Amino acid sequence: MLNRVIQQFKLNVLSINEVEDSHSSTVYKCYLDIGEVVFVKIPYTTLKCQRELEAYEILKDRVSIPEMLDYWSGDEECPGAFLLTELKGQPLTNKDLPTVAFQVGVLHASMHQIQPPSILQLTGIKNEFPDWSNFVERQFYSFAEDVKEVLDECLYRQAIEKFENMKLQLPPSDGPSFIHMDFRPANIIVDEGKVSGLIDFESVRFGSTEIDFTKLYRDFLSFDFNLYQSYEEGYNTVRPIIDLEVVLPFYQFTDAFNSIGWCKRRGIEKNASFLKENLSILKKVLL
């Protein structure tokens, strides 16, 4: 499939490296004979491909993202493919400085400022905000059958009860906003102390911002209060941040639960460390 995509984009490639930590698509870093580096991205499904395509149109000139050089709509065997420029730098880490966290806050808030377009007809990206509570519930229970096969019966029952109780205590939703749904360090690129931009848009929606802080907090903000504080300051320069202390416990719990289901679907052995991490988070909440 990769060879067909390369032929489709008419690339003269010297070497190719598969990019790790890409969960909803296959991504290749391609070194071209003209000395340039580009990325070829093949989403797993047609829907993910369509979301990504629409996201590039919505975010262009509003949020720093890779430039889409070319797009192939695919065929019976391939759902589609993107040819993208390289964002210079490396993924965000918790070793990055508070000044970087400030920029991450600005980036995140700039994305959340974007509302559903009135003119552009979207077929991949849905506006889930009008029925946000049901969207969160559908996501949770769609993974519940998978989670049931991993947790013991008592713990599973506790998790269901916890979800039903916690969702009743949520404040009014904040939106409608463009939400990434996978806003984590691996998708935020930093180059020499400056945020280059954001990647990976297969899961995006319009919805409530409250769901979009969970993974960033888990993998970055929770390590140092100075990072958290600087991120919050950066975010507030664009739009007021919601009270994370109120919503984070619920979304940390549901993210851990859903991630356990995701591991079951994608293979427990292959995702053993991620499964262990989320089991630990879930048990802290329940026990």
Residue 94, classed as helix, strand or coil, is coil
Name residue 176's amino acid.
P
Which class in CATH covers the domain with range 2-86?
A: alpha beta
**Does the pLDDT of residue 188 top 90, yes or no?**
yes
Please report which helix (H) or strand (E) contains residue 117, including its range. none
- Cβ pair 246, 119 in contact under 8 A: no
Cβ partners under 8 Å of residue 36, min gap 6: none
φ, ψ (nearest 5 deg) of residue 237 = -70, -20
The mean pLDDT of the chain is 93
Please state the rounded mean pLDDT for residues 171-180. Answer: 95
97-156 pLDDT, tens digit per residue, is: 999 999 999 999 999 999 999 888 899 999 999 999 999 999 999 999 999 999 999 999
Architecture of domain 91-286: Alpha-Beta Complex (3.90)
Six-digit token string for 106 = 């600005």
Residue ranges covered by each domain of the chain:
2-86, 91-286
Provide the whole-model pTM.
0.91
Sign of the torsion formed by the C-alpha atoms of 235, 255, 138 and 125: positive
- Any bridge partners for residue 32, and if so which? 13
Whether the per-residue pLDDT at 69 is higher than 80: the answer is: yes
Confidence class for position 22, pLDDT limits 50, 70, 90: low
Give pLDDT tens digits for 192-232: 999 999 999 999 999 999 999 999 999 999 999 999 999 99
pLDDT at residue 211, as a whole number: 96
Instruction: For residue 33, give both structure tokens.
Output: 């004979």
Evaluate whether 46 touches 80 at the Cβ level (below 8 Å). yes
Are the CB atoms for 85 and 38 separated by under 8 Å? Answer: yes
